Amino acid sequence: MSLHLLVPPVRGVQETSLVRGQYEYWHYVCDGVDDRGWGCGYRTLQTVISWIVNNKKGSSEEPVPSIAEIQDILVRMEDKPGGFSGSREWIGSVEVALVLDQLFDVPGKIVHTRSGRELEEVFEKLKTHFDQTGCPVMMGGDLDASSKGVFGTCQTSSEKYFLIVDPHFVKTDACETDSADLVEAGWAKWVNLDGFSGSSFYNLCLPQIKSDALNQE
């Protein structure tokens, strides 16, 4: 499911850089675990891992770990205390970087901004990342505590955008997980950099996967 490719382009767009390759969209309750309110970081990590499994050489047999397995990995690494396993404590970009390195030998570069107003200063770093690797980025914050995936950048003559894939979707009996419906409902969309909180810091985890380690191209 390449959900982000169905998002309509921004009007007047001049340049776009996107995630390339297949992945699975992981979201709240998608595997039967009710993680509403605390699991968005895990779900974004699972989406990134699914991209690595689909696109990194030698990783196709690796399963995407469950939330419980991710917690256990962080405990074994001694990043978290034993009581973290089985808890409802959230994770952010730093923990995402640790897990990717542990499981796939893919380090995560943490890019920090003190507020949403500074995201424009790191825009080119993300653009270059997508151009070189095509790998999704994890984005988390403090006051804006809703973790999310960044799947592209674009710019017009006057504005810049991130392509956001939001893990907060919850499937019910009355709704479908058809990709087009998810995009129409706004679970994947272009977000103007002005739309991010000016009162929240942001940490972005850019997986440092080498181009020669990829199946694509």
d(CA 48, CA 51): 5
Question: For position 60, what pLDDT does the model report?
Answer: 80
- Check pLDDT > 60 for residue 10: yes
- Residue positions annotated with a catalytic role: 40, 166, 168
pTM: 0.94
Dump pLDDT digits (tens) for 25-59. Answer: 999 999 999 999 999 999 999 999 999 999 998 88
Dump pLDDT digits (tens) for 46-104. Answer: 999 999 999 998 888 889 999 999 999 999 999 999 999 999 999 999 999 999 999 99
Dump pLDDT digits (tens) for 131-183. Answer: 999 999 999 988 887 899 999 999 999 999 999 999 999 987 655 578 899 99
Backbone φ and ψ for 115, nearest 5 degrees, come out as: -160, 170
Question: For position 111, what pLDDT does the model report?
Answer: 97
The residue that leads in pLDDT, 212 or 198, is 198
Partner residues linked to 164 by β-bridges: 150, 189
The enclosing H or E element of 47 equals helix 40-55
Question: For position 216, what pLDDT does the model report?
Answer: 58
DSSP state of 174: T
